[in-house]
């Protein structure tokens, strides 16, 4: 068995699993902090009940995110030794900064928050939740900045057979880092918003704790409405950046084979990688792809065929992931706008509530697909234009990686199943009286 | 110079990690032997409750600074120690899960399952970290392609295992003292008894380990060349003796401080002996990775030094505040609250 392929698979399993839990942490920490702040401001115990109910869910989710994050950090060394050696000067330092600046803060204060209800003044206690929220969102920045450097390396020079840092600020302030960061945290906010709305919908359908869940739903609705719209705008900005900085990724995302001026956009398209064409292209919007990618109806879009086959990313997976992600992104806007009009009569909208309940997984799916577009779309490079994935692995035997991959799958399935079961159980049970 | 400073910081961060998470490991291993009722088990879980996560971040930081400051060491160390390292990570995952999940369901078999996970999740990292560091002191069989010539059993040689047993003994004493701080009555008495009897075992293992180190590793070379350095193991020995004295006097906070110092200086003893090596090859010493041939560029080392010198004191300040906030004993009120494990 090919150790590089297995290592890629293992990294994909570990990252995607990690990123089931992270987005909820990013968004729910803020929602819980908002709820607790309202409790402190108004003294209304319903908000305290809310803080505890959603906070409980947050904690189960949080711990899985934490423990699966550690394996990611160490996997760069275990499975991608040549990568680590080549880029550690830049990439490693960003990860180390993440730990010292953000992760300590998050992990210390999440415990103070959980155990500290009776030890701290209400205001101080709420500040702890804000610190957790700020730290997790700060932590995401460093991770995304590191990833952005893999997509678009800047501020470095190749010296002595490795990439060495020459401009730290360029690395952390490049627009790819900022835009992808915002895109990622907004995705997390939509995940959390839909999660809270979905669980609330479950109880509203059962006419259970109507006031409590109507309030929860509305807080999450406003949050989701703002960020699902912002998310699509961010997506558009990133699309234009990809067109400029990673043209082969754009070509794969759109399954564009020929270099063309004024390229059309097909609403229905099925790529045929084997014959380097699309087997179906229907409902064309003339010149629209050029406009989307470059903001100019007649701009030239470079086609996949202009790169040798070995330098192209896999098209079907990237294309399909992207299309579904974008479709879901618009669906989230639609669902939250409908919610906005129904916000004052939620209990009498059972169909909408049922849709929202079953929509809980959708933002998760969109987020994971986004990572597939980003990471698979960068292939065959691990650091775009600098280092190929095949040259980045550790000198391991295939059997070694096969065993660890099996262990990852078994352990993570068990862990995920238990965490999701515990969260579902708590969600169904509803809030405790405080 | 930058490399030397980073080498010492690297050792210090590993030392702090073992000093802090060490008592968690010790308590996890001790749990099945010392706790006779669910209440006693819960005292142990809650004694670690507010701390284990913050402690574990020191490991992430240790990994992170290895990556940032010594990328070649990070790459070769982590890939050649592939199997034991992943075993440690998996163990840490089930340990964390046992903290967070055990209290969520009332059933007896559910709780025993997580107790078993906590035990394994504490024993395996304590043992394997000890094995790994002892083997690094000896030298690791990797060749000029950075390929590990051996398997897990290669690492489980007598000296490696002795290192593992030493770590377990250090952590058991450390954890028992922490339990004595956090509990009272019968459990505190049991914790004290455990601490003082395991201390004797620790003393024996330490002496044997230091003796074997003379024959199995080149660690003493730096000390013989620079006898002033012997002050470091001297502090370790004094701290170890003081630990026993303070346990005897029922001054558990002082005993814990002494035990912390024992662990910290024991780790530093090894690291200073290793210098300038970070990851020596036992096949060919010219392949050994040192602080100088595996480090990052001066710019990265400088930036990271700035980050660490600013952030680590801040981290230590708020973690100390958190330790202070939860320094009280685990009492009935705490155990009957919903905000507990």
Chain B hits for A416, CB-CB cut-off 8 Å, are none
Scanning every residue of chain B, which has its alpha carbon at the shortest distance from the alpha carbon of A158?
B297
**Is B67 close to A108, i.e. CB distance below 8 A?**
no
Q: pLDDT-derived band of residue B161, with 50, 70 and 90 as boundaries?
A: very high
Q: Is the pLDDT of residue B274 over 90?
A: yes
Q: Is the pLDDT of residue B250 over 90?
A: yes
The tens digit of pLDDT for each residue in A212-230 reads 999 999 999 999 999 999 9
The tens digit of pLDDT for each residue in A25-60 reads 999 999 999 999 999 999 999 999 999 999 999 999
Q: pLDDT-derived band of residue B151, with 50, 70 and 90 as boundaries?
A: confident
Q: pLDDT-derived band of residue B335, with 50, 70 and 90 as boundaries?
A: confident
The tens digit of pLDDT for each residue in A398-417 reads 999 999 999 999 999 999 99
Is the minimum CB–CB distance between B151 and chain A shorter than 8 Å?
no
Question: What total number of domains does chain B contain?
Answer: 1
Q: Is the pLDDT of residue A243 over 70?
A: yes
For residues A127 and A105, the answer to whether their CB atoms sit within 8 Å is no
Q: Is the pLDDT of residue B331 over 90?
A: no
Radius of gyration (Cα) for chain A, nearest Å?
A: 23
Query: Which pair of tokens denotes residue A212?
Result: 């409590």
Q: Is the pLDDT of residue A2 over 70?
A: yes
Q: Where are the alpha helices (DSSP H) in A152-174?
A: 168-173
For residues B335 and A131, the answer to whether their CB atoms sit within 8 Å is no
Q: Is the pLDDT of residue A148 over 70?
A: yes
Q: Is the pLDDT of residue A283 over 80?
A: yes
Of B96, B304, B338, the CB nearest to A93: B304
Q: Is the pLDDT of residue A434 over 80?
A: no
Q: How far is A253 from chain B (nearest CA, A)?
A: 33
The fraction of chain A above a pLDDT of 90, given in percent, is: 84
Query: Which pair of tokens denotes residue B93?
Result: 């995952």
Mean pLDDT of A246-253: 93
Neighbours of A333 (CB within 10 A): 16
**Is A59 close to B77, i.e. CB distance below 8 A?**
no
The tens digit of pLDDT for each residue in A104-135 reads 999 999 999 999 999 999 999 999 999 999 99
Chain B hits for A59, CB-CB cut-off 8 Å, are 100
Q: pLDDT-derived band of residue B336, with 50, 70 and 90 as boundaries?
A: confident
**Is B82 close to A404, i.e. CB distance below 8 A?**
yes
- Strand boundaries in B264-317, DSSP class E: 277-279, 289-290
- Side-chain-side CA neighbours of A86 within 13 Å: the count stands at 19
pLDDT given at position A332: 97
Mean pLDDT of A237-254: 93
pLDDT given at position B97: 95
Is the minimum CB–CB distance between A70 and chain B shorter than 8 Å?
yes
Chain B hits for A116, CB-CB cut-off 8 Å, are 50, 325-326, 339
Q: Is the pLDDT of residue B69 over 90?
A: yes
ipTM: 0.92
Neighbours of B76 (CB within 10 A): 28
Q: How far is A103 from chain B (nearest CA, A)?
A: 7
Q: Which domain does B161 fall in, by range?
A: 2-336
Interface of B with A in 20-49 (CB under 8 A): 49
pLDDT given at position A144: 96
**Is B146 close to A81, i.e. CB distance below 8 A?**
yes
pLDDT given at position B152: 86
- The reply to whether B341 falls in a domain is no
pLDDT given at position A149: 96
**Is B76 close to A81, i.e. CB distance below 8 A?**
yes
Q: Is the pLDDT of residue B65 over 80?
A: yes
Mean pLDDT of A136-142: 96
Nearby residues of B204 by Cβ (< 8 Å), 6 or more positions away: none
* Core vs surface per residue A198-221: b (16+ CB within 10 A) or e: bbbbbbbbeeebeebbbbbbbbbb
pLDDT given at position A432: 79
For residues A231 and A282, the answer to whether their CB atoms sit within 8 Å is no
Q: Is the pLDDT of residue A368 over 80?
A: yes
Mean pLDDT of B17-25: 97
Mean pLDDT of B92-111: 93
Chain B hits for A168, CB-CB cut-off 8 Å, are 299, 303
Q: How far is B37 from chain A (nearest CA, A)?
A: 22
Mean pLDDT of A79-92: 94
Q: Is the pLDDT of residue B163 over 80?
A: yes
Scanning every residue of chain A, which has its alpha carbon at the shortest distance from the alpha carbon of B316?
A104
Q: Is the pLDDT of residue A279 over 90?
A: no
C-alpha distances out from residue B149 to A1, A380, B22, B168, Å: 20, 30, 30, 27
Q: In this predicted structure, which of A84-98, A271-285, A359-373, B117-131 has the lowest mean pLDDT?
A: A271-285
Q: How far is A80 from chain B (nearest CA, A)?
A: 7
Chain B hits for A165, CB-CB cut-off 8 Å, are 296-297, 299-300, 303
Chain A hits for B69, CB-CB cut-off 8 Å, are 92, 96
- Best probe of the B interface among A52, A100, A135, A163, by most B CBs < 10 A, is A100
Residue B36: in which H helix or E strand, if any? none
Chain B hits for A103, CB-CB cut-off 8 Å, are 57, 60-61
Interface of B with A in 96-135 (CB under 8 A): 96-97, 99-101, 104-105
Three-class SS state of B289: strand
Average pLDDT, chain A: 93
Q: How far is B300 from chain A (nearest CA, A)?
A: 6
Q: pLDDT-derived band of residue A282, with 50, 70 and 90 as boundaries?
A: confident
The tens digit of pLDDT for each residue in B286-300 reads 999 999 999 999 999
Mean pLDDT of A333-344: 94
């Amino acid at each position: 068995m090919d150790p590089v392929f297995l290592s890629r698979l293992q990294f994909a399993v570990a990252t995607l699993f990690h990123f089931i839990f992270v987005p909820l942490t990013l968004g729910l920490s803020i929602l819980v902090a908002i709820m607790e702040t309202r409790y402190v401001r108004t003294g209304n115990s319903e908000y305290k009940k809310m803080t505890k109910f959603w906070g409980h869910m947050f904690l189960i989710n949080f711990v899985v995110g934490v423990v699966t994050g550690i394996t990611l950090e160490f996997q760069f060394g275990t499975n991608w030794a040549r990568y680590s050696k080549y880029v550690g000067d830049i990439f490693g330092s960003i990860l180390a900064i993440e730990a010292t600046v953000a992760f300590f803060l998050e992990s210390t204060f999440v415990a103070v928050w959980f155990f500290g209800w009776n030890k701290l003044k209400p205001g101080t206690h709420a500040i702890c939740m804000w610190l957790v929220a700020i730290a997790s969102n700060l932590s995401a920045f460093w991770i995304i900045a590191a990833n952005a450097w893999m997509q678009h390396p800047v501020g470095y020079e190749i010296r002595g057979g490795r990439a060495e840092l020459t401009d730290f600020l360029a690395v952390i302030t490049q627009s790819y880092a900022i835009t992808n960061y915002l895109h990622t945290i907004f995705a997390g906010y939509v995940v959390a918003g839909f999660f809270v709305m979905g669980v609330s919908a479950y109880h509203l359908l059962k006419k259970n704790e109507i006031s409590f869940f109507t309030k929860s739903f509305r807080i999450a609705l406003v949050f989701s409405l703002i960020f699902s719209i912002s998310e699509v705008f961010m997506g558009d900005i990133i699309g234009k950046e990809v067109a400029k900085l990673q043209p082969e990724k754009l070509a794969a995302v759109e399954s564009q084979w020929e270099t063309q001026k004024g390229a059309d956009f097909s609403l229905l398209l099925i790529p045929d990688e084997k014959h380097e064409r699309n087997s179906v292209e229907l409902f064309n919007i003339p010149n629209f792809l050029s406009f989307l990618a470059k903001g100019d109806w007649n701009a030239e879009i470079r086609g996949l065929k202009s790169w040798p086959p070995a330098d192209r990313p896999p098209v079907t997976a990237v294309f399909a992931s992207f299309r579904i992600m974008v479709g879901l992104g618009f669906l989230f806007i639609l669902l939250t706008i409908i919610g906005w009009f129904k916000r004052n009569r939620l209990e009498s909208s059972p169909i909408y509530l049922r849709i929202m309940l079953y929509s809980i997984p959708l933002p998760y799916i969109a987020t994971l697909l986004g990572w597939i577009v980003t990471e698979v779309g960068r292939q065959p490079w691990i650091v775009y234009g600098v280092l190929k994935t095949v040259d980045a692995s550790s000198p391991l035997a295939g059997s070694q990686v096969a065993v660890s991959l099996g262990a990852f799958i078994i352990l993570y399935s068990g862990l995920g199943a238990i965490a999701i079961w515990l969260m579902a159980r708590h969600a169904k049970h509803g809030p405790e009286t405080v | 110079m930058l490399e030397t400073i980073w080498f010492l910081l690297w050792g210090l961060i590993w030392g702090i990690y073992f000093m802090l998470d060490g008592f968690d490991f010790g308590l996890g291993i001790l749990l099945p032997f010392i706790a006779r009722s669910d209440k006693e088990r819960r005292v142990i879980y809650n004694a670690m409750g507010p701390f284990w996560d913050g402690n574990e971040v020191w490991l992430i930081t240790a990994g992170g600074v290895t990556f940032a400051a010594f990328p070649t060491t990070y790459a070769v160390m982590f890939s050649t120690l592939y199997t034991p390292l992943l075993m440690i990570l998996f163990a840490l995952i089930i340990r964390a899960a046992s903290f967070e999940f055990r209290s969520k369901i009332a059933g007896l078999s559910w709780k025993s399952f997580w107790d078993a996970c906590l035990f394994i999740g504490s024993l395996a990292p304590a043992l394997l970290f000890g094995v790994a560091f002892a083997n690094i002191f000896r030298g690791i069989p990797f060749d000029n392609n950075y390929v590990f010539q051996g398997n897990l059993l290669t690492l489980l040689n007598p000296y490696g295992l002795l290192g593992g047993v030493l770590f377990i003994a250090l952590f058991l004493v450390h954890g028992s003292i922490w339990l004595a701080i956090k509990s009272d009555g019968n459990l505190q008495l049991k914790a004290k008894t455990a601490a003082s009897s395991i201390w004797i075992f620790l003393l024996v293992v330490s002496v044997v380990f230091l003796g074997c180190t003379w024959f199995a590793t080149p660690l003493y070379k730096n000390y013989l060349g620079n006898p002033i350095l012997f002050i470091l193991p001297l502090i370790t020995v004094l701290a170890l003796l003081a630990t026993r004295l303070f346990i005897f006097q029922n001054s558990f906070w002082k005993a814990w401080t002494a035990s912390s110092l024992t662990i910290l200086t024991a780790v530093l003893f090894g690291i200073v002996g290793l210098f300038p090596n970070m990851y020596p090859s036992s096949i060919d010493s010219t392949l050994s990775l040192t602080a100088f041939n595996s480090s990052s560029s001066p710019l990265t080392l400088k930036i990271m030094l700035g980050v660490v010198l600013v952030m680590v004191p801040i981290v230590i300040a708020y973690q100390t505040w958190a330790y202070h906030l939860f320094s009280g004993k685990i009492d009935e009120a705490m155990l009957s609250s919903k905000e507990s494990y």
